[in-house]
């Protein structure tokens, strides 16, 4: 097969094909950036949600958990933890989170451990708000089940 292709043909496929793919990618990037605010309900991104995201990063939560399917696979997916542990009710989810974060690390031998992050109650609420907001992202029907 490769006998019929010359070096200059291969070179042209590289430059032509690469440029073509790059241009489409850039065009779609512009469109995606336009659509993301609506698909993620950016209007509901309160100060508390933004503070929660900063806490998520500051404590490297993604080093154990996945969120919207990305991260480490050591601990549960958290995009739909609001539905799973709070049954979609904000007040009960926030109460659950306060208790859960305070109880870490759980004293169960050999169970994987979550560190104690010493967050203030207000910070835990920020984190809850961030997770509630995240649960409403339009991710094309993902995750497939409540267990994530």
Partner 1 sequence: MKYSSQMVAKPYFIFALILLAGEILFGVLMGIQYMYGDFLFPLIPFNVLRMVHTNLLIVLILFGFMGATYYLIPEEAERELWSPKLAILTFWVFAAAGVATILGYLFVPYATLTEVTFNNLLPTMGREFLEQPLPTKVGIVLVVVSYIVNVTMTVLKGRRTVITTVLITGLIGLAVFFLFAFYVPDNLVMDKFFWWFTVHLWVEATWELIMGAILAFVLIKVTGVDREHIDKWLYLIIAMTMVSGILGTGHHFFYMGAPEYWLWIGSIASAVEPLPFFLMVLFAFTMARDSKIKHDNKIALTWAKGTAVMAFLGAGVWGFMHTLAPVNMFTHGTQLTAAHGHLSFYGAYIMIIFTMISYAMPILRGRLHGNCAKAQKLELSSFWMMNIGMLGLTLALTAAGIVQIMDLRMGTELKGFMESQESIQSIFMIRLGFGLLVFVGLITYFASFFVKEEA
Residues of span 54-73 touching partner 1 by CB under 8 A: 54, 56-64, 66-73
For 29, residues 6+ apart whose C-beta sits below 8 A from its C-beta are none
Q: Give the shortest CB-124-to-partner 1 separation in angstroms.
A: 14
Choose between 50 and 96: whose C-beta lies nearer to partner 1: 50
The answer to whether residue 27 forms part of the interface with partner 1 (CB under 8 A) is: no
Is residue 122 involved in binding partner 1 (CB under 8 A)?
A: no
Tell me how many helices (H) and strands (E) the chain has: 5, 2
Name which position in 87, 92, 112, 122 contacts partner 1 (CB under 8 A).
112
Q: How far are the Cα atoms of 2, 49, 69, 73, 126 from residue 97, in angstroms, in the given order?
A: 61, 15, 21, 21, 11
Alpha helices in 40-89 (DSSP H): 47-58, 81-86
Query: Is 76 one of the binding residues for partner 1 (CB under 8 A)?
Result: yes
Position among 4, 27, 30, 31 found at the interface with partner 1 (CB under 8 A): 31
Q: Do 124 and 97 touch, CB atoms closer than 8 A?
A: yes
CB 121 to partner 1: min, Å: 17
């Amino acid at each position: 097969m490769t006998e019929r292709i010359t070096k200059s043909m291969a070179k042209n496929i590289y430059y032509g094909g690469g440029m073509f793919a790059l241009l489409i990618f850039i065009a779609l990037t512009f469109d995606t950036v336009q659509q993301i605010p609506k698909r993620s309900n950016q209007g509901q991104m309160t100060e508390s949600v933004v503070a929660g995201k900063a806490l998520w990063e500051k404590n490297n939560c993604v080093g154990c958990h996945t969120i919207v399917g990305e991260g480490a696979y050591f601990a549960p997916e958290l995009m739909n933890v609001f539905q799973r542990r709070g049954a979609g009710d904000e007040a009960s989810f926030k109460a659950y989170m306060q208790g859960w974060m305070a109880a870490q690390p759980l004293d169960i031998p050999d169970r994987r451990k979550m560190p104690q992050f010493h967050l203030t109650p207000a910070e835990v609420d920020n984190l809850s708000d961030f997770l509630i907001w995240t649960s409403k992202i339009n991710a094309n029907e993902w995750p497939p089940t409540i267990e994530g």
